[in-house]
Structure 1
Amino acid sequence: MINWRKIRKIAGYSRLLVLCCVMTMSVQAQEFMAVKDVQEGMTGYAKTVVHGTAIETFPVKIIGVMKNSGPSGDLVLAEFSGPLIERSGGIAQGMSGSPVYINGKLLGAVAYGWSFTKSRLGMITPITDMVKLWNVPNENEMRPFNAREASLIPITTPLMTSGLDSASLQWFVGKLPQYRFHPVAAPTSSGDGASVALEPGSAVAAALMNGDMKMGAIGTVTYVDGDHIVAFGHPFLKKGSINYFMHNAYIFTIVNSLNTSFKLGSIGRETGVIEQDRGAGIAGRRNDLRPGIPVIIKATDEDTGTTLEKRVKIVEDNELTPVLASTAVYNTINKTLDRFGGGTVSLTYTIRGAGGTDRDITRHNMYYSSENINEKSIDELYNVLDMLKHNEFIAYPVLDIQMNVRVSQAKKTARIVDASAAPAVVAPGDEIYLKVKLHPYRGADETRILSFTVPKDQPPGEMILEIRGGGVTPLPYLIERQKYNLTDEILARLRHYKDFAELKKKIETEESNNDLVVEILDKNVSMVPDKKDTSDKVKIREKVENPTDSDLRKPHKKGAKEEKDTEAKTLVPTPYIILGDGQLTFQVVRPQEREKYRKKYRSAAGASAVMKAAIETAEGATKKDRKDSKTKNAEEAAAVSADTDTVIGSL
């Protein structure tokens, strides 16, 4: 028997369930207003946060539509009013992205202002253009910004920072002048660690750096669909496809100024990723955290014993990564030293690249500056990262960066004051012993004994050995540079590598300033190619490592030797930055003629006293002296390159 009462009851429940679903869908769905439906005189409201995380509203009145005036198409001109606008002094920086509703429909985001109107007038980017960011447009779909009025300007997003000092921020801004950054040091909030659900009108941050130091732009969420959001209504840096860190934001207040007001806020908890930064705004996803690039910095002031270790995470980008990493290191050094001025820095760093250990770079170097050792400490890291990120061979995603820095006010330099060697007559493949005297700044003289092996293919005749510091360029090369007026830009253009492996090897094996170097000095060096001259010339192919110095990097030799895996060179690390250079002359003969020529040199009446002294002094270096010197050199090499117990770890 059919129980009709039960069936009617079930049907009632079903109708109720359907009704509830429809009501839920109507609550969750947000209808958009098309630009074609916008009429002058329409009124509505916008939502934003001016304190804490509470969303407030302010009235909006439509004035008209500005055809093709924005980076993505049309803009809607509107007037903003109400107590909130009066308190904030107009549309403030950080309000960009504030959603505008007309007749219950979402029209778009407050995005642009008009100069000299006290910011009561502004332009709205249509939401229909913004949601296209979820499906990355191709280049043909993206129009360049073509504002009709020169006074029409984006409501710039404030770059909030914490944990960074003014000197570091000034350096950061100077490296990226095209973005006209205006960083603002902001306080932190006790609720920064809390996760706040993002909704239209919420404050949101697109961060470039987080961790012990934070840096990012604060704006307003325009629309949320599940985990997808759009915000700002205009580009941040217009980087296209990117991976900024999405964060909650807490607003302290609106700061009024003569130029424009801005929201003062803190960058809170990381909640997702910003994947698009284009003309219509920024777009991203919640609950999708990206690893970024962990940067671990350990800085020690040897004079005070102060040591700081900082950990940050920075975005992956060819342009931004070198600057952000160097800024974090610079800031850590500044806070460790708590001073500006001269000194000596010893640095060791490792850059790990994705794709295997053959992409990893490890370097040690020392620098001295009489003016600002803090800034000098980051020059090399910035240059190497910039070279890796812009290399022509492979994409170079960075896994992490680790840097260990030790700084002292002491002037840790040593000048080469004397050198002698034996034997004076050699054959290809022979070993030469050199005795080099160093004079440390305000210290007692020290002696180093080095060995140099004559190349097996060295031709007979005169051979000049250059003894110098790793950062010193022989005088003939400097004269050649002046002769041809070779600027740093020209030298950079002459530099080239055959593949990434060669580039990596060049970076890792490049001399350090604390190296004592012995190498053959080419007398016929030339730094520019000369088609009329068929002689075997040496060409400069390297960029000057320190553009502020007058030194020039040593050129490679042309021909078969250029392709060798090893150069005829001796490098011995020391605890000093080595200054100065000198030359010793040797006679290269065939092996069977070696002893005959040595006897001639010893007994020749015309032999110079300097040569005789060199022979006698160097040959007087006993095996014990050589062993002791090698042991000392090895210990010093370990000391200057020691990387303490810094460990790569996750943030």
Structure 2
Amino acid sequence: MIKYLVTICLMLLLYTNSALAMPPIMTTSELKPGMQGYAETVVQGAQQVSFNVEIIGVVNNGKGSSKQILARAYGPIIEETNGVIHGMSGSPVYVDGKLIGAVARAVGQDVLPYKFYITPIEEMLKIWTLPDPLAVINKSNIEKVKIPSLEEYEKNQDNYDENIDKEVEKYKSKHLATPEGQEAVKGKAQKRLEEILSGLDIETQEDKTDVDADIVQTDKIIKDLEDNSKTDVNADKLEEHISLTDFILKSLEKQNKAQASSFNNTSMMPIYVSGFNDNALNFLANNLKYKNMTPYNTGEFISAPIGNKDSDIKQNATLKAGDPVGVVMAYGDFSAGGTGTVTAVEGNKILGFGHAMTYKGNVNYFMTEADIIGSAGGILNGVKVSSFGKIIGRVNQDRFSGVGGILNEYPSSIPVRVKVKDRNLGKEETFVSKIAYDEDILPTLASSIVYASMDRTADRASYGTSKIKFTIMTDEVPEGKFERENMFYDPKDVGQFTVGELTQALYFLSTNMDKPSNILDVKVDVDFTSSRKTASIVSAIPDKEEAKPGELVNFNVTLKPYRRENVTVTIPYTIPKTQKEGQMFLEVKGGGFVQLGQVLQSGLVVTPQDIAQLSTVDRLNEIKNLNKNNEIVISPTIDVESEKDQDKAIKEAIKLSEEIGKMSKKEREEFNKNRESKISTDYVIDNFIQTSINIKK
């Protein structure tokens, strides 16, 4: 009996080692034209099938480049699929029982897909030897190789470790460091204004939206300010009002363009997404283009809903060569990634795809099971219709020769939970996705998921009025969370404005120059209607004709809501104790309007030169303290009637900017608090006016 048990154990041990070990390999030096072999893949369900392969030759691409094997596919399976199709990449190819490489790519888009390239196995094996500095960003406290329980994973996945590898800092510094020769500290306020605004030049397009027109007008102001030699420059440009929302969106776009230059040496990489309707897909595509990625809506989707312990992770997962596998950046109600085939497995390490997905090198993505529902053939290109299954590991390398990953280890991830209430349809929807911790892609994917959630809930173009409240759980701020609310209206696409501040907050956290920011969770609530909920300020009348410094004055502000009767609100305002005697001019405006001069004090501009000027916490506070679009704000201004007044106004504005720039953060907040008063309304306030009161000592 004992001998029998020992024999069984030895058989099981030998079988296990065989299953996890690499098969014998054949290098390109051993291949000859005309050799026959086969490839293994899955075209439907879980059953592996094979097709015939004939070696045509080896293509040497020169020093430093990977060799490629040119081959021809044939046989019943290939006739059924009409050639090698998308999703077959990574399929292991064998000659004389030895692994020679992985199905990689077609010869060309306009060539019948019967001839294809194979990535040699000797090139792919190098992936396992590459450094993995992002392993330390696996902040879930799950040790390598150790397989945790589901409860342990759920409990610990958000306990992030601050000790990230130096290589990550080098990577961030490469893209975010102040360029050589740039001054580390800004000079005078006027110089700072010019530097800020010169970094926000806008490329005009033939088809401009209303927002584009506003931005172009801002550019004209910028150009006038920079050209000090002009005699016809309006000296009150620092008092010019612009839309802060537009300013934020354009500065983010500018930063995206600056980062795009770091990745422009490769062609656009296809990313397959699900859950995104056409409008949301266009929004995502517009943002991913700066990452050298192009999203496509295909058959990729999550086979089971996420959000409970039983649906997300599969423990003790195994894969074998020829199995389908998913490489996923976002997982859940909205997903982004791709499916391919496993080429080789050794222990808990896998190789697959035979080509890059994002070509970003060391990465931190989900490895998932993949279900092949079927295939769809085309005249020149076909595709496997597939879905992402449960999370089974972490993909850590995304290289030209393929992807590499580790089974039963999991990437750090950030859950994004979005609740959208649609007032027109009277329904409320909740969406949940997890984004693999990738600082480069996080702001784009998170904001696109919120946009797509609005799109799917409303089932229409995203025109109308929205209210958003978002909470980012992070230890970067003392309170442990960053919160912001605002209200927006746009007749064409309010969604892009709704997600602007969220995008910027995540961007500031992701580009923290001091240390990696621990982002634990993102929660977003959106209230959405197609109605136009805007109002214009008609008048603002003080309850007394004159007042003393330090005295409280009530302003009765009349509003004209869109297609509704006038309403009056009362806003108390305390005259600053330092206010001079004489006529005091005040500005009554919607919170979404800002003077160019005020931009001098903000940390909102995201050009690389400015990143080091304020801490991440300071930048987040700048967003948090911004006036909201549905607020009415009263603050002092200057009455400009003559050219002499204009000259005086700009000098005083610059002087004030310099004084504020020297203040501490606390002093600046107190100064601004004492200079303005505001009140919230149920409308987006779309204009500004001036009023006045006489001050007597």
Task: Give me the TM-score of the superposition, normalised by structure 2.
Answer: 0.69
- 2:48 match: 55
TM-aligned CA deviation for residue 405 of structure 1: 0.9
Q: Is the 8 A contact 2:269 2:358 kept in 1?
A: no
Alignment deviations for residues 16-75 of structure 1 (CA, whole Å, 9 cap, x no partner): 998996787566532222333333333222111111111111122222222246986222
Look up the match of 2:298.
184
**Structure 1 pair 535/581, CA: closer, same or farther in 2 (3 Å)?**
closer
Q: Is the aligned partner of 1:117 residue 2:111?
A: yes
1:380 Cα offset (Å): 3.4
Q: Is contact 1:206-1:216 (8 Å) kept?
A: yes
- Aligned position for 2:92: 99
Q: Assess if the C-alpha contact under 8 Å between 2:542 and 2:693 holds in 1.
A: no
Work out which of the residue numbers 63, 66, 73 in structure 1 matches 2:59.
66
User: In the alignment, does 2:44 pair up with 1:77?
Assistant: no
Q: Is the 8 A contact 1:113 1:154 kept in 2?
A: no
Report whether the alignment pairs 1:579 with 2:686: yes
**Matched-pair contact (CA < 8 Å) for 1:524–1:538:** no
* Correspondence for 1:335: 456
- Mapped to 2, the partners of 1:17 and 1:517 lie a distance apart of 78
Deviations 1:547-581 (A, max 9, x none): xxxxxxxx995554985232122121111111222
**Counterparts in 2 of 1:75 and 1:159: CA distance versus 1, 3 Å:** same
1:284 aligned to 2:395?
A: no
Q: Is the 8 A contact 1:216 1:267 kept in 2?
A: no
In the TM superposition, what is the alpha-carbon distance from 1:237 to its structure 2 partner? Answer: 0.5
Residue 565 (structure 1) aligned to one of 669, 672, 678: 669
Q: Alpha carbons of 1:124 and 1:451: their partners in 2 closer, same or farther (altered >3 Å)?
A: same
> Hey, what does 2:372 align to over in structure 1?
251
Could you tell me which amino acid in structure 2 is paired with residue 564 of structure 1? Answer: R
**1:244 Cα offset (Å):** 1.4
Following the alignment from structure 1 to structure 2, what is the Cα–Cα distance between the partners of residues 132 and 176?
29
- Give a deviation string over 1:95-127, Cα, whole Å, max 9, x none: 111111222222221112211431222222222
Alignment of structure 1 residues 38-437 onto 2, 5 Å = 38-68=31-61, 73-115=66-108, 116-137=110-131, 159-161=272-274, 163-177=275-289, 178-186=292-300, 197-340=318-461, 342-355=463-476, 357-358=478-479, 360-421=481-542, 425-437=546-558
411-420 vs 174-183, greater mean Cα deviation: 174-183
The alignment partner of 2:669 has SS state of coil
Displacement after TM superposition at 1:89 (Å): 1.6
Q: Tell whether the 8 Å contact from 1:229 to 1:283 is kept in structure 2 after alignment.
A: yes
SS of residue paired to 2:298: strand
Aligned AA (1:342): Y
How far apart, in 2, do the equivalents of 1:223 and 1:47 lie?
11
Cα deviations by residue, 1:574-610 (Å, 9 ceiling, x for unpaired) = 1111122222234556xxxx2xxxxxxxxxxxxxxxx
Q: Secondary structure at the match of 2:104?
A: strand
Q: Structure 1 or 2: larger helix share?
A: 2
Q: CA deviation at 1:353?
A: 2.1
Task: Give the whole-Å Cα distance in 1 for the aligned partners of 2:650 and 2:628.
Answer: 34
- Tell me the amino acid that sits aligned with residue 308 of structure 1: E
1:442-481 Cα deviation digits (max 9, x unpaired): 223222222223344445555321111111346xx59x99
Distance 1:454 1:234 in 2: 67
Letter aligned with residue 277 of structure 1: D
**Other structure's SS at 1:366 match:** strand
Note the alpha carbon deviations across 1:211-256, whole angstroms, 9 max, x for none. 2333320101111112211111111101222221111111122212
Q: Give a deviation string over 1:106-154, Cα, whole Å, max 9, x none.
A: 22211122114312222222223323323334999xxxxxxxxxxxx99
Alpha-carbon distance in structure 1 between the residues aligned to 2:442 and 2:656: 29
Q: In the aligned structure 2, how far is the partner of 1:268 from the partner of 1:168?
A: 23
Alignment-derived partner of residue 471 in structure 1: 592
Q: Report the AA paired with residue 427 of structure 2.
A: T
Name the SS of the counterpart of 1:172 in structure 2. helix
Distance (Å, rounded) in 2 between the aligned partners of 1:245 and 1:169: 21
**Is the 8 Å Cα contact of residues 411 and 436 (structure 2) preserved in structure 1?**
no
**Relative CO higher for 1 or 2, CA cutoff 8 Å, sep ≥ 6?**
2
Q: Are 2:619 and 1:503 aligned? A: yes
Specify the SS of the correspondent of 1:36: helix
CA 537–524 in structure 1, closer or farther in 2 if over 3 Å, else same: farther
Measured in 1, the distance between the counterparts of 2:462 and 2:268 equals 39
CA distance in 2, matches of 1:106, 1:191: 37
Query: What is aligned with 2:560?
Result: 439
Structure-2 change in CA distance of 1:130 and 1:523 (3 Å): farther
- How far the C-alpha of 1:371 sits from its partner, in A, is 2.2
Offset of residue 381 of structure 1: 2.6
Determine helix, strand or coil for the equivalent of 1:324: helix
State the Cα distance separating 1:306 from its structure 2 match. Answer: 0.7
Q: More displaced, 64-73 or 378-387? A: 64-73
Distance 1:443 1:83, change over 3 A: same
Per-residue deviation, 1:492: 5.8
1:100 and 1:108 in contact (8 A); partners too? yes
Matched residue count? 538
C-alpha displacement at 1:158, in angstroms? 6.6
2-structure distance, mates of 1:556, 1:374? 38
Aligned amino acid, residue 238 of structure 1: Y
What CA RMSD, in Å, does the superposition of the two structures yield over aligned residues?
3.9
Task: Check the 8 A contact 1:113/1:155 in 2, yes or no.
Answer: no
Q: Is the 8 A contact 1:366 1:512 kept in 2?
A: yes
| CA distances 1:271-326 after superposition (whole Å, capped 9, x unpaired) | 11112212221111122233511111111112332111111112222332122222
- Quote the Cα distance in structure 2 between the aligned partners of 1:189 and 1:558: 54
TM-score (norm 1): 0.73
Shift of 1:184: 0.9
Q: How far off is 1:76 after superposition?
A: 2.1
Q: Deviations over 1:488-536 (max 9, x none)?
A: x9996896642222201101111110011011225689xxxxxxx9945
State the partner residue of 1:149. none
- Between stretches 322-331 and 244-253, larger displacement belongs to 322-331
1:428 and 1:103 map into 2 onto residues whose CA distance is: 94
Moved more, 32-41 or 576-585: 32-41
| Contact 1:389-1:395 at 8 Å conserved across structures | yes
| Structure 1 portions without partners, runs of 5+ | 1-8, 141-152, 482-488, 526-532, 542-554, 595-651
Contact 2:487 2:628 in 1 (8 A): yes
Tell me the residue number matched to 1:35: 28
- In structure 2, distance between residues paired with 1:464 and 1:368: 29
Shift of 1:185: 4.2
Residue 155 of structure 1, CA deviation: 13
Q: Distance in 2 between matches of 1:539 and 1:492?
A: 24
Task: Give distance in 2, aligned partners of 1:124 and 1:154.
Answer: 20
Task: Report the secondary structure of 1:180's partner residue.
Answer: strand
Greater alpha carbon shift after TM alignment, 69-78 vs 263-272? 69-78
Q: Which amino acid aligns with 2:279?
A: A
State the one-letter code of the partner of 1:580. Answer: N
SS at 2:43's partner residue? strand
**Deviation of the 1:401 alpha carbon:** 0.9
Rate the CA distance shift 1:191–1:298 in 2: closer, same or farther, 3 A: closer
Larger deviation: 85-94 or 27-36?
27-36
Structure 2 unpaired stretches of 5+:
134-166, 168-265, 642-648
Deviations 1:386-433 (A, max 9, x none): 343235454334211111111123221121111122555555444333
